[in-house]
Copies of this chain bind each other. A is one copy, B any other.
Amino acid sequence: MRELILSDVDDIARGAAILGAGGGGDPYTGRLLAEAAIEQHGPVSVVDIVEVTPDAVVVPVSFMGAPTVSTEKLPSGQEAIVALRTLENVAGLKATHLVPIEIGGMNSVIPVAAAAETGLPLVDGDAMGRAFPEAHMVLPTLIGVSCTPMVIVDDKGNSMVLDTVTNQWAERIARAVCAEAGCSVFTVDTVLRGDQLADGLVPGTLGLAQRLGETVRVSMDPVQSVVDTLGGRVLITGKVADVDRRTSGGFVRGEARIEGTGEDRGSVLRLSFQNEHLLAERDGELLTSTPDLICVLDNETGEPVTTEGMRYGNRVAVLGVPCDRRWRTPEGLRLTGPRAFGYDHDYVSITGGTK
């Protein structure tokens, strides 16, 4: 067990925004929430997966919606706690730990805020090892854990408890509610027992985010430091020449075009995203795809550039980073490969070949 203090939040938010592959919601808003909660309630206890007892009740708390909206429609900070208490009442359980559902922007620091407010320890890990746009795209789905009961709470005070026959139905219905409620809600779902964490979580991603955030802050060559920390490679260095972005169906979707500079002059990288970056094609060749991570960084500072923050003229480096190995299995690819998002492509791994 270790303590997470106020000054750690900035590094975690930065690192998690890189691991979020462009998504996970605006890290700035989440950071403010987490910092305010720690200032008021004190530091958060963080435990490793191996420290958690088998009968522990580990609850993910998260934001659901379009990142474009989260930057303008700010949460009250109480939604996550209301959702947690509602779930406890409905399901007749008592949370012993909190955990991020994904490691990405807002959704890696929302649980920090909730842990500070409730005094519950936070498990170091998450259910994706990155951010994915849809609620059922979590490792627990692969091991048969239900997303429901799922509690959804909005900023107006509306709440609901959802029970569905599949995790994909939980995503579909929750997304419809999310869109109607203004594309920004808080959810508590996919409760895990302590003995399900090894299979249901990617371990250590909160610590990884913190180290990554620190590396970027102190390094003289931050982009290279990110590659050294995460593996993978730089797909292009260049300038954002075009962003076509629309907020529809509770997501932000679109494409971006990066024109190469320096050694990459003459090349063009095309990114396709749905909250997160999903495909990276260079000069017509698919270089890497979901579930591998496609991360866009400011080329000078190494700061993460989210899908909703990307602007014409940004000087960026685009990285391909290998995903957790469980996503590369046939079941994993069915859930999170390119075809799960409607693209007519097989998975192309950043570590080589089509798996």
Residues in A lying within 8 Å of B, measured CB to CB: 90, 156-165, 169, 172-173, 175-177, 179-181
Q: How many copies of the shown chain assemble into the complex? A: 2
Bound CA span A180–B159, Å: 18
Say yes or no: B165 contacts A172, CB within 8 Å. no
Bound CA span A156–B179, Å: 22
Bound CA span A169–B181, Å: 9
CB distance from A88 to the nearest CB of B (A): 14
Q: Kindly list chain B residues whose C-beta atoms are within 8 Å of the C-beta of A163.
A: 158-160
A161-B161 contact given A172-B180, A176-B177, A176-B179, CB 8 Å threshold: yes
Bound CA span A180–B164, Å: 13
| Given pairs A158-B162, A159-B164, A160-B161, 9 additional interface contacts (CB within 8 A) | A90-B90, A158-B163, A160-B162, A160-B163, A172-B180, A173-B180, A175-B180, A176-B177, A176-B179
CB distance from A183 to the nearest CB of B (A): 12
Q: Which of B157, B161, B176 contacts A180 (CB 8 A)?
A: B176
Q: Kindly list chain B residues whose C-beta atoms are within 8 Å of the C-beta of A180.
A: 172-173, 175-176
Bound CA span A179–B172, Å: 11
Q: Kindly list chain B residues whose C-beta atoms are within 8 Å of the C-beta of A176.
A: 176-177, 179-180
CB distance from A211 to the nearest CB of B (A): 40
Q: Kindly list chain B residues whose C-beta atoms are within 8 Å of the C-beta of A165.
A: 156-158
CB distance from A72 to the nearest CB of B (A): 20
Say yes or no: A173 contacts B160, CB within 8 Å. yes
Q: Kindly list chain B residues whose C-beta atoms are within 8 Å of the C-beta of A172.
A: 180
Say yes or no: B169 contacts A177, CB within 8 Å. no
CB distance from A178 to the nearest CB of B (A): 9
Bound CA span A172–B160, Å: 13
Bound CA span A179–B177, Å: 10
Minimum CB distance partner of A158 in chain B: B164
- Could you list 10 A-B pairs, sorted by A, with CB under 8 Å? A90-B90, A90-B161, A156-B165, A157-B165, A158-B162, A158-B163, A158-B164, A158-B165, A159-B163, A176-B180
